[in-house]
Each structure stands twice: as C-alpha cells, then as structure tokens.
C-alpha cells in the first residue's frame, strides 16, 4: 500500500515477520500514528498471498462501528479487502457472517455472542484493537479469545465445556498505545493472546510468582492474600527483553516531528471552608451528617476515596443503600474556574468530567453552549467550530473520536486514576492533524485526593515511558 508513511511501512513489515515467526505481533504505537491503516496493510499483504484468508477485527464499540469501516472505505482504492461489520439484531449479524467477507469487524462486547453462535471460526488472523483492554485474565473477552486462539474449532458445549476437536490456531496482531499504564502485571494477558504463553508463561500466577514480590498482604477468607505487587530486582529489564521480539513501540513525538506539543496546566484551587470541614470529618470518622440530616458513610478505603473525590468536585453522593438520599451540592469552586477558563479561551473547549453531578451543573450554567458526545453529527459540528463546549466522560470518548480539527484546549474538572483513560482522552485533540499546541487544563484542589491522583498519573506515565522506550526500534 503506497499510502503508508515510512514508519507505518516499518511497523507493517515488523508485524508480518513476527506473525510468521512467532504467531503473534504487538504494535504499541502512540495514538494518532495510524495503527488502523498499518493493520489494513498487513491484512492486504496476507490476503494477496492467500485470497482465501479471512480476518477478524475486534475493537471497542465506537471504533468497531465507525473507525474501522471508515478507514477501510477511505483506503479502498489501495487494498483488495472487502468487509462487514457485525451490528444490528442477532439475525442481521448471522446474515452478515454468511457474506464471507475477507474482514469481519466486531465489537468486543459481542465476542461472547460470536463464540456461542459460530462453531468454527474461519478467521485465521485476528486484529485485536486496544489490546490493553484484555489485561484482565478473568474477563469474558479474554477467556473467549484465549480458548479460540488455541483452537479455532473450540465451540462451547451445552455442558459448559468446550469441544475437543483439534483445529487450527489463530495468529494475533495486537494494537495499543498504552500496553502497561498501571504495572507490568498488565502485560501477561496481552502477551498470552499474542503467543499463547510462550513468552511470559502459561499462567498469570506463575508469571507473577517468578518476577514479582508482594508488597501488601491482607487477611483473606482462606488466609493471607497478596493484593499489591512490585517487580523483583532485574525483572523489568528481563520481562521487556522477553517480549521485544514480537512487540514494537513508536512514540508520536519521534515519528510526527511537526505535531504541536501538549502542555499540562494545573489550576490550583482552595477548597471552600464549609466543604473542607465535611472533607476532614469524613476522612477522619468515615461518616458525616449533613445539614439536611442525611448521613453519608464510607465503608472501606475505596468508598472513602470516592467520597473524597466527590467533595473535591463540589458534591457528595448519598450511600447506595439510601433510597431517599439526594446528591448534596457543596460548592462551585471548580465550576467557577471552568467558567474563567472558558472566558479566556480562544476557541472551543473539550471538558472531561467524572461525576454525573458535574455534568448536570455544567448544563445548568452553560445552557445551549454545552453539548455532549452522543448528539448527532457531533464530531462534524465540533470540527466546523459550532460547539463552544463539549462535555464528555473519558470512558465514552477515549476511543473513536477525532476532534483535532476543531479545538486545542482540554479541561479536566476531575482527573481519573487511569493513565489509559487520561492519555486516550487527551489524544482526541493531541493527534496527527492538530495545528496548535494542545493545552490540558487540570483543576486541582490543594490538600485533597486530587494531589494523590496527580502523583499516581505521574508514576504510571513513568512506567509507560520505560516500556515504550524498551520496545522502540532504531
């Protein structure tokens, strides 16, 4: 495919070699480097060599519905692949399967349905988009692909087991820009899908016991149980060295020298005194009685952290078991700062929030100027400059939305703990085609859990950078 940039051609060549030699390949490319186009090129080369070969693309819902068919259509003059997208009713999906298209695109949420309804999978190569979404080996999506990777005929039986008829194995091309954003334990399940355990071992427990040591142990129902781990001395280098032959990383800053920089601007705010009193009391006592008589409690550390984040945002949700409770409005410190940012902005704002109460308060303050990602034609309207403010939850907007043509300013009213969510969401603007410096405004209240989130994001970014650097090719 002549449309490939030189670095994309290098990535495609690497993937083809790794697929041939090892049965799996991981392309760990930053957002905006063209993982989709590179994968289309890989499939096209294999299809040209064997026209009977069929491919399965598994992707997050929005990417499966929009990005893949759009890219396949955009470059249709440069490849020989036909395709179908499994959507609509179950009957419609089965009809599409009968088409025999070279490429079948399916949402990862439909993997269980596909597993239940197709005895023998005809797809000899899978492209698993956003491979980092399979880092949990207990997830349904991982278990389905694990079984089918080892045997494409491994259809589930009514008894709950799987057929033992021998069948061919699948080859897997995994795509992600964030392979390890929390810890190196994240790599095991992803690598298992690529090579069936050849690199990091056949079990998660074996991998963990060999390369990690527990740093936090709690008393579980059957005795002491480790809940946090860290790499042993030398483990990081050994693990990354082991996966390097089948994984390649690329950074946008290296391959797109004309991409404008991303600048993070922290807005330090003081929590209002009344909210601070409530914040201090619930952190100390794990409970607080509000002025309206409502009592809010924090049953454990996770719940406490959530309550503290709510207060740093200016609200407090009732306990889940309180059917009469209402969300308590505490203050508008962050909303006021968002208003100031908007007044000084020179264009459209992309605003990420965490709690529904934040969205409702933004709706009340900004009225018709505020839009949401589910609205019809929202991407086209944004890119035409018709959307003064676009509000989005990172989980609903971190994939499949290319907004770089319509703005260059992001505001986080409440930061996420997940570096993957944070990076992917910012990449809606910080990607190829962006002409201006991307400014990421982060609203942070001093002396609150906001500061801890900043530290966690920085720690995870450091790990991510080391992984990407270790797998970078000259």
Model confidence at 419: pLDDT above 70:
yes
In a domain, 421, yes or no: yes
Cα 395 to Cα 354: distance, rounded to the nearest angstrom:
9
Distance, CA of 381 to CA of 23 (rounded, Å): 43
| CATH number of the domain residue 361 falls in | 3.40.50.300
For residue 414, is it within any domain? yes
Assigned domain for 236 exists: yes
Residues 97 and 226 in one domain: yes
Do both 281 and 146 map to the same domain? no
Comparing 195 with 219, the larger pLDDT belongs to: 195
Do 312 and 447 sit in the same domain of this protein? Answer: no
User: 307, 329, 351 — which closes off a domain?
Assistant: 329
**Low-confidence winner among 96-105, 164-173, 342-351, 379-388 (lowest mean pLDDT):** 164-173
Q: State how far the alpha carbon of 111 is from the alpha carbons of 33, 83, 139, 148, 279, in Å.
A: 27, 18, 11, 11, 43
Burial zone of 192 (CB within 10 Å; 0-12 exposed, 13-18 middle, 19+ buried): buried
> Tokens 């970014």 sit at which residue?
461
Q: Is the pLDDT of residue 323 over 80?
A: no
Query: Domain check: are 434 and 300 in the same one?
Result: no
In a shared domain, residues 367 and 463 = yes
- CATH number of the domain within which 37 lies: 3.40.50.10810
Q: Residue 164 pLDDT > 80, yes or no? A: no
User: Hunting for tokens 């910012």 — which residue is that?
Assistant: 426
Same domain, 246 and 287: no
For residue 434, tell me if it sits in a domain.
Answer: yes
The mean pLDDT value of the chain amounts to: 90
Which residues have CB under 8 Å from 56's CB, separation 6+? 103, 104, 106, 121, 123, 125, 126, 127
- Residue 1: inside a domain: no
- Beta-bridge partners for 411: 351, 441
Q: Which pLDDT tens digit goes with each residue over 46-83?
A: 999 999 999 999 999 888 988 899 999 999 988 999 99
Among 154, 127, 140, smallest CA distance to 59 is for 127
CA distances from 290 to 239, 313, 318 (A): 51, 17, 10
How high is the pLDDT of residue 292?
A: 66
pLDDT at 86: 96
250 plus 322 within the same structural domain: no
Residues 322, 417 share a domain? no
Q: Of 130, 111, 126, 123, whose CA–CA distance to 173 is shortest?
A: 126
* Residue 474 located in a structural domain: no
Q: Which pLDDT score, from 0 to 100, does residue 166 have?
A: 66
> What letter does residue 168 receive in the DSSP assignment?
P
Give the end of a domain, one of 194, 229, 255: 255
Domain that holds residue 311: 273-329
Residues 319 and 336 in one domain: no
Would you say residue 165 has pLDDT above 80?
no
Domains identified in the chain, total number: 3
219: left (phi over 0), alpha (psi -120 to 50) or beta: beta
Strand bridging mode 103-107 / 55-59: parallel
Written as six digits, the tokens of 78 are 């440069």
Does 183 lie in the same domain as 60? yes
* Residue 173 and residue 52 in one domain: yes
**At which residue do the structure tokens 């000899």 appear?**
124
Residue 298: inside a domain:
yes
Helix/strand/coil for 71: helix
Phi, psi of 340, rounded to the nearest 5 degrees? -65, -40
Over the stretch 80-103, which tens digit does the pLDDT of each residue have?
Answer: 999 999 999 999 999 999 999 999
- 225 shares a domain with 282: no
Asked whether residue 430 is domain-assigned, the answer is yes
């Amino acid at each position: 495919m002549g449309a490939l940039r030189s670095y994309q051609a290098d990535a495609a060549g690497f993937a083809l070699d790794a697929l041939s030699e090892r049965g799996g390949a991981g392309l760990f490319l930053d957002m905006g480097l063209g993982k989709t186009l590179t994968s289309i090129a890989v499939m096209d080369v294999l299809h040209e060599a064997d026209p009977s070969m069929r491919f399965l693309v598994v992707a997050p819902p929005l990417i499966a519905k929009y990005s893949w068919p759009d890219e396949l259509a955009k470059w249709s003059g440069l490849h020989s692949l036909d395709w179908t997208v499994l959507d609509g009713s179950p009957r419609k999906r089965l009809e599409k399967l009968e088409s025999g298209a070279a490429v079948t695109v399916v949402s990862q949420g439909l993997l269980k349905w596909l597993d239940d309804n197709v005895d023998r999978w005809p797809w000899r190569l899978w492209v698993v988009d956003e491979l980092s979404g399979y880092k949990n080996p207990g997830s349904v999506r991982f278990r389905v692909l694990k079984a089918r990777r080892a045997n494409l005929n491994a259809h589930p039986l009514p008894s709950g087991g799987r057929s033992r008829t021998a069948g061919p194995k699948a080859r897997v091309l995994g795509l992600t820009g964030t392979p390890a954003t929390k810890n190196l334990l994240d790599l095991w399940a992803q690598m298992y899908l690529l090579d069936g355990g050849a690199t990091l071992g056949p079990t998660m427990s074996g991998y963990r016991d060999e390369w990690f040591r527990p740093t936090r142990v709690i008393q579980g129902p059957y005795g002491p149980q480790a809940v946090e781990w860290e790499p042993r001395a030398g483990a990081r280098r050994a693990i990354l060295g082991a996966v390097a032959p089948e994984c390649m990383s690329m950074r946008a800053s290296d391959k797109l020298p004309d991409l404008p920089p991303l600048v993070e601007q922290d807005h330090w705010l003081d929590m209002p005194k009344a909210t601070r009193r409530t914040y201090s009391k619930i952190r100390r006592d794990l409970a607080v009685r509000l002025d309206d008589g409502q009592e809010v409690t924090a049953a454990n550390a996770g719940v406490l952290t959530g309550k503290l984040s709510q207060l740093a945002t200016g609200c407090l949700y009732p306990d889940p078991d309180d059917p009469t409770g209402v969300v308590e409005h505490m203050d508008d410190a962050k909303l006021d700062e968002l208003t100031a940012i908007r007044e000084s902005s020179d264009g459209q704002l992309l605003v990420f929030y965490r709690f529904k109460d934040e969205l409702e308060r933004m709706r009340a303050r900004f009225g018709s100027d505020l839009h949401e990602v589910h609205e019809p034609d929202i991407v086209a309207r944004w890119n035409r400059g018709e959307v003064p403010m676009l509000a989005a939850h990172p989980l609903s907007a971190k994939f499949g939305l290319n907004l770089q043509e319509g703005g260059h300013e992001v505001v986080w009213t409440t930061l996420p703990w997940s570096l993957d969510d944070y990076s992917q969401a910012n990449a809606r603007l910080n990607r190829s085609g962006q002409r201006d410096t991307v400014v990421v405004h982060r609203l942070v209240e001093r002396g609150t859990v906001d500061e801890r989130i900043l530290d966690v994001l920085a720690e995870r970014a450091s790990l991510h950078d080391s992984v990407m650097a270790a797998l970078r090719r000259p």
